[in-house]
Amino acid sequence: MHYTRDQINNLEKIKKINLINSCSGYKSANLIGTISKEGITNVAVFSSVTHLGSNPPTLGFILRPTTVPRDTYKNILESGVFTINHIFEDIIEDAHHTSAKYEEAISEFDITALEDEYHNDCIAPFVKGSPVQMEMKFIEEYHIKSNNVIHIISEIKNLYVKDYILNDDGFLDLAKGKVAAINGLDAYAIADGNTRFNYQRPKKLNTMK
């Protein structure tokens, strides 16, 4: 099946957003937790958290300030801090519900079964039970002009991981944590396991193919 750019542009709206949201491949499934100046907590599902580098430990994510979840953006700029929590099997349905648009100033922790918890002096809420929880410090932001989205750059301040997913070499086995990956806008997949490879060195060139 072949779609040209013109054909993509002319697709019916729901079909287009389903197609274009699933064509980038699997996406990370995270809940981002924040708190407002007034003390109202917020937690929202994001599928764009990306590794930018290990030294300093840096993650980025994309938000669209003109639509939901604008609370996340406002709270991050105000407080300078937020949390990233992996979505796992037991909380998928509640995590997905955080994408609903409420008019009222409510916390998603009050309208779902998600529970907040707090570690050390971090004022932003973590999601209880999540096998990977991170306290993030806001570093900088980039406005992506061609598409009118914001790229948030942040560093890990504290990392909390469940023992049973941590290997001796530092690898976090997400399958052991029943961590979800997002496919498109509304589908969540959980892998049973994975295949690890070695660090790749060049082949001798006379053994090509």
Interactions with a copy of itself, residue window 71-130 (CB under 8 A): 84, 86, 92-93, 96-104, 106, 110-113, 119
The 3-class secondary structure across 85-130, one letter per residue, is: EECEHHHHHHHHHCCCCCCCCCCHHHHCCCCEECCCCCCCCEECCC
Considering the rule CB under 8 A, would residue 40 count as an interface residue with a copy of itself? no
Considering the rule CB under 8 A, would residue 37 count as an interface residue with a copy of itself? no
Residue in the structure block whose two tokens are 């090509």: 208
Which one among 37, 38, 39, 55 touches a copy of itself, defined by CB under 8 A? Answer: 55
3-state secondary structure of 174: coil
3-state secondary structure of 185: coil
Residues numbered 136 to 175 that lie near a copy of itself (CB under 8 A) are 139-140, 142, 144-149, 151, 153, 155-163, 166-167, 169-175
- The rounded distance, in Å, linking the Cα atoms of 186 and 97 is 10
- The rounded distance, in Å, linking the Cα atoms of 78 and 72 is 10
Give 92 or 123: the residue with its C-beta nearer to a copy of itself.
92
Which one among 36, 58, 73, 123 touches a copy of itself, defined by CB under 8 A? Answer: 58
Residue in the structure block whose two tokens are 């907040």: 116
Amino acid identity, position 188: Y
Q: For the CB of residue 10, give the shortest distance to a copy of itself in the complex, in Å.
A: 11
CB atoms within 10 A of CB 38: 7
Considering the rule CB under 8 A, would residue 66 count as an interface residue with a copy of itself? no
Considering the rule CB under 8 A, would residue 31 count as an interface residue with a copy of itself? no
Q: Which stretch binds a copy of itself (CB under 8 A): 7-15, 34-42, 75-83, 121-129?
A: 7-15
Considering the rule CB under 8 A, would residue 193 count as an interface residue with a copy of itself? yes
- The rounded distance, in Å, linking the Cα atoms of 163 and 34 is 25
Q: For the CB of residue 178, give the shortest distance to a copy of itself in the complex, in Å.
A: 12
Which one among 34, 38, 40, 57 touches a copy of itself, defined by CB under 8 A? Answer: 57
Considering the rule CB under 8 A, would residue 67 count as an interface residue with a copy of itself? no
Amino acid identity, position 56: P
